[in-house]
Structure 1
Amino acid sequence: TINDISNMKELLIKNFKFPKECIRVLSEQEQNANLIPTKHNKLESLKWLVKDCQPGDSFVFYFSGHGLQQPDFKEDKIDGFDETLCPVDFLGEGMIIDNEINSIIVWPLKEGVTLHAIVDACHSGTILDLLFKHTSGGLAICLSGCEDSQTAADSSVRINLWRNEYGVLTYHFTKTIREYSGITYGGPLEKMHDEIKKINRSRCNNRILQHILILYIYITIFFFHFLKRKIHDPLLSSSEKFDVSTTMFTL
């Protein structure tokens, strides 16, 4: 996820001209204790993001990491589960649920304020609860790595000689934005879907690995399951309806 963070930060600065001083990064590599991605620090940073929002403001919330689900104790979800993000201390402090995220960064959005959330994690389809709750007049758009019921555990790609790993959503989203100027919201989705289909096809057609694995029963069981697992398509959700095929993408 460190590679993902660096990739996204570079995109925001170089392609969308976000000032460096307006970007807050939380990661385990940070020396400042307030920037370690604990539950407390994440919630405080979400509040910082949209604090004193005014018409014309554009916010971006980006997350690359682990996502899970937990029972919906408020019983306001059709599938009976809340979607969650996992801070580094979630085993002791608990996860951050979609209801909290919505109340902190979606509900306060005033008219004329736009929020983009890009969440590269498992079970992230409705992580902002945009299907169930609304803003205070602003616009919230979320690009998720997969549907609520799906996992993205093997959503990584290896590039260049150093074989760095990136989340599939992050890598193909940033790659598409860099390569295609003036693209619509539907453009990155279409490009990402095409690339993910190629990756899934490549995994399913890897006959050499499948033949080698026949020699080892236990390894065969494990890797056959691995080869059959597919990277799931990303999806787009919004607090308002708009035409993704004609609306130009911008942050």
Structure 2
Amino acid sequence: MGSRREWCSGCGLQLLVPTDATAVRCVVCQAITRFPYPPPPAAPFVYGGSSYCSRPPPPLSPLASAFGRKRAVLCGINYYGKPYRLKGSINDVKCMNYFLLNKMGFPPDSVLLLSEEETNPLKTPTKRNIRLALKWLVEGCQAGDSLVFHFSGHGTTEPDYDDDEVDGNDEALCPLDYETEGFIIDDEINGTIVRPLPYGAKLHGIIDACHSGTVLDLPFVCRMNSWLCKVKYREGYYIWEDQTPREIYKGTSGGLAVCFSACDDHQLSEDTTAFTGSKVMTGAMTYNFIQAVQNEPGLTYGRLLNCMRNAIRESKSSGGLRLNGPIASILNKLVFTSNNSSGEPQLSSSEKFDIYSTKFIL
């Protein structure tokens, strides 16, 4: 059965529907649209209101093809005007956008970039827009698809109220308007982009934020060079640590979800100029992720993780990697005087696999 693209009569989102469908329910606003659906009368678009433009707003991105699609959501938030402002997050998503388009073969119309520099109100990284973007990311996903969610900004932790976290805390991302609208917690992220992932599809999360180790709520975390590895195996080996304290399923619907995070759940990440050799700020993990993949085609997940960790360790040991911003003096003291706070990139997954034989492919 074929498919076609139609517009939701409620929110204007582009929907993929079967060719012979006469009605469809929107995955975002739950409105039912019946076909044929005539274009609405001319009227100015009112964001967040009931009015809409003479034709539906431009789609977040048209679907690239029927099979083997690449699609990405990139969110960069500097929190302009706030005392906790960052300086490298928007640079991060610009770099990631260039990397995906020019190095990884993502079609230009399949990458949705949300940042404070966007003039389109639908593309600012508010909580509502990030939620819509994540739902769009997996809409119509099928075998062969490659999805990417990249976030650069602040992360935090919240008390866990449903008893599904081994450390008693949910991890969360901080959207632009989190002070009024709240955080986006890992339970929601998992339910939105991990659980629906079908067999044969792959999702990569690349999260450059504090407290981001398990922010996709994936069940397995790769522990490298841990005490248990040293005892049971030898230096340089790894184990997959199960992060589900009881019988709660956090996996996919058959696909594979993998996440690279800037640091563990209890750690902080860095916003730095150490790697660019200039005044240009970037996230330490985002920069080294891109550099490693570009410099060594065909590398494995284990090799990629080690490349990022080694580069950050070398920069820390040389004194080049420091936190920046209004609260830099406080955070630098925390990060560089406490072993528990100093962040290193982490790897988590919806299933166990051999990180040293499995090639990294976007």
TM-score over 0.5 for the pair: yes
Judging by fraction of residues, say which structure has more strand. Answer: 2
Q: For 1:72-111, what aligned pairs fall within 5 Å after superposition?
A: 72-111=160-199
2:117 is the alignment partner of 1:29: yes
In structure 1, distance between residues paired with 2:286 and 2:278: 18
Which of 137, 140, 154 aligns to 1:49? It is 137
Q: CA deviation at 1:33?
A: 0.2
In the other structure, the counterpart of 2:272 is 156
Percent identity between matched residues is 46
In the other structure, the counterpart of 2:306 is 190
2:357 is the alignment partner of 1:241: no
Alpha-carbon spacing, 1:51–1:202, altered in 2? closer, same or farther (3 Å): same
Judging by fraction of residues, say which structure has more helix. Answer: 1
Q: For 1:1-251, what aligned pairs fall within 5 Å after superposition?
A: 1-131=89-219, 132=244, 133-152=250-269, 154-160=270-276, 162-203=278-319, 228=337, 231-251=342-362
In structure 1, distance between residues paired with 2:300 and 2:334: 36
In structure 1, distance between residues paired with 2:140 and 2:105: 21
Single out whichever of 103-112 and 158-167 deviates more from structure 2. Answer: 158-167
Secondary structure of 2:288's match? helix
How many residues get paired?
236
In structure 1, distance between residues paired with 2:331 and 2:257: 40
Secondary structure of 1:164's match? coil
Alpha-carbon spacing, 1:44–1:222, altered in 2? closer, same or farther (3 Å): closer
In structure 2, distance between residues paired with 1:76 and 1:246: 31
Q: CA deviation at 1:227?
A: 5.1
Alpha-carbon spacing, 1:34–1:224, altered in 2? closer, same or farther (3 Å): closer
Query: Aligned partner of 2:358: which letter?
Result: T
Alpha-carbon spacing, 1:87–1:222, altered in 2? closer, same or farther (3 Å): closer
- Normalising by structure 2, we get a TM-score of 0.62
Alpha-carbon spacing, 1:28–1:246, altered in 2? closer, same or farther (3 Å): same
Query: Aligned partner of 2:256: which letter?
Result: L
In structure 1, distance between residues paired with 2:277 and 2:259: 33
1:172/1:192 contact within 8 Å kept: yes
Query: Aligned partner of 1:246: which letter?
Result: S
Alpha-carbon spacing, 1:136–1:64, altered in 2? closer, same or farther (3 Å): same
In structure 1, distance between residues paired with 2:290 and 2:166: 33
In structure 2, distance between residues paired with 1:97 and 1:66: 12
In the other structure, the counterpart of 2:325 is none
Alpha-carbon spacing, 1:54–1:160, altered in 2? closer, same or farther (3 Å): closer
1:200/1:231 contact within 8 Å kept: no
Secondary structure of 1:84's match? strand
In structure 2, distance between residues paired with 1:130 and 1:163: 36
Q: CA deviation at 1:158?
A: 3.6
In structure 1, distance between residues paired with 2:130 and 2:283: 20
Query: Aligned partner of 2:138: which letter?
Result: V
In the other structure, the counterpart of 1:213 is none
Specify every segment of 5 or more residues in structure 2 that has no aligned partner in the other structure, as ranges.
1-88, 220-243, 245-249, 321-328
State the Cα deviation string for residues 39-85 of structure 1 (Å, max 9, x = none): 00000000000001111111000000000011111122121110000
In structure 1, distance between residues paired with 2:267 and 2:360: 26
In structure 2, distance between residues paired with 1:53 and 1:14: 23
